[in-house]
Amino acid sequence: MKIVKIIAIVLLVAFVGIQFMPVERNQSDGVPKIDFMLVNDVPSDIKNKLKVSCYDCHSNNTKYPWYNKVQPVAWFLEGHIKEGKAELNFNEWDSLSSRRKVSKLRSIIKQIESGEMPMDSYTLIHKEAAFSEEEIQQVIKYMENLKDSL
Ligand code: HEC
């Protein structure tokens, strides 16, 4: 019993300790004119869904409610933001050529259709980011139409 108590105390101290370690925040002022939502006429329900489900990792602005600030969640998220933005940054959408947009849209459709995005580790905490079957169809239809218009 004593050893369990000691381990619990050590873990607690470590948990409190890591809260003080610095973390980079993905935050910037304003939304650039080349943002996906500004250059495309996106219906408001799809806009909201993408903002809630994708923008934390695929834009220059992450929302930081308290649970995103708690370690180790914040570190985990930071890593995903770096990788996610490198693949796709909705804030910089219009900097892509038409050809690259088409290929990104294909990739977006594939990721949502297969349920790979948003990541499970994310929807576990951010319940509102998960997609219903209906939302999947809705967003995919929109992305398909956009792709065909390019
Ligand atoms: C928790 C962070 C996170 C969220 C939320 C998230 N992504 Fe990602 N996304 C990543 C990471 C990390 C990668 C790169 C690694 C990978 O492919 O798994 C990525 C990769 C991608 C790629 C490129 C995949 C490829 O291999 O070509 C697309 C497209 C994508 N995400 C779309 C989305 C869409 C659409 C949403 C919202 C429905 C979303 N993501 C939500 C983190 C995230």
pLDDT mean for each 10 residues of the chain (150 residues): 93 94 89 96 97 97 91 91 97 98 98 96 93 97 97
How many whole angstroms from 26 Cα to the centroid of ligand 1? 16
Residue spans per domain, the chain:
2-149
81: CB partners within 8 A, 6+ apart? 26, 56, 57, 62
| The pLDDT value given to residue 110 | 98
Q: 71 Cβ partners below 8 Å, 6+ apart? A: 15, 18, 19, 21, 23
Residue carrying the six token digits 């490198």: 86
- C-beta of 56 in contact with ligand 1 (< 6 A): yes
The minimum-distance atom of ligand 1 relative to the CA of 56 is 5
pTM, 2 dp: 0.92
Angle ∠(68,80,60) on CA atoms, nearest 5: 75
